Amino acid sequence: MNNTYFAPTIIELAGGKVPEYMQGVSFKSILETGEEPPDYPQATYYRYWMHMEHHQNPAHFGVRTKDYKLIFFYGINYRKMEDPSSRMNYFHSFNTPVAWELYNLKNDPQEMNNVYGDPRYTDVKADLKKQLKSMRAELNEEDSNHPNTQKIIDEHWDD
């Protein structure tokens, strides 16, 4: 579940009908019954676009399940890279290292131990990357309009 689930839930709680174009899934039935429906999404996609702004976090995207979180830090401010004349983020235009992180949330809920390079997680990593790629396509979150960002993703996808 992520913040996109709140609007559909509030609409449904207010008696409205959730528009089909709206991202996210209502969790009204979970609030009412305490039970997760069998068809409820088991993974969620998220993206943090604001490279080194506000909270000093590098730009990244990821997928989260109940048990794991896979994150790709692509290390650039796409707005600055794609439009060098942009005045946006003048002071936050530096790049950060490209990196993958994988956390086993059952064993490490505080996300302190990055297991991305651990061979025991090879299958988990492959499955999460497959889900991540699928969700990015489904949500039109691919970076074809941001060639510098896409180049970094392509160069490091199989790291």
pLDDT digits 0-9 by tens, 11-68: 999 999 999 888 888 999 999 999 998 888 899 998 886 665 666 677 889 999 999 9
H helices of the chain, where?
6-13, 28-33, 78-82, 122-138, 147-156
Report pLDDT for 57: 76
- Please give the CATH architecture assigned to the domain spanning 42-156: 2-Layer Sandwich (3.30)
pLDDT digits 0-9 by tens, 76-128: 765 555 555 555 544 455 778 899 999 999 999 999 999 999 999 999 999 99
CA distance linking residue 126 with residue 98, whole number of Å: 19
φ, ψ (nearest 5 deg) of residue 62: -165, 180
> What is the C-alpha R_g of the chain?
18
Residue spans in the chain of domains classed CATH 3.30.1120.10? 42-156
pLDDT digits 0-9 by tens, 124-140: 999 999 999 999 998 88
Report pLDDT for 55: 66
CA distance linking residue 131 with residue 135, whole number of Å: 6
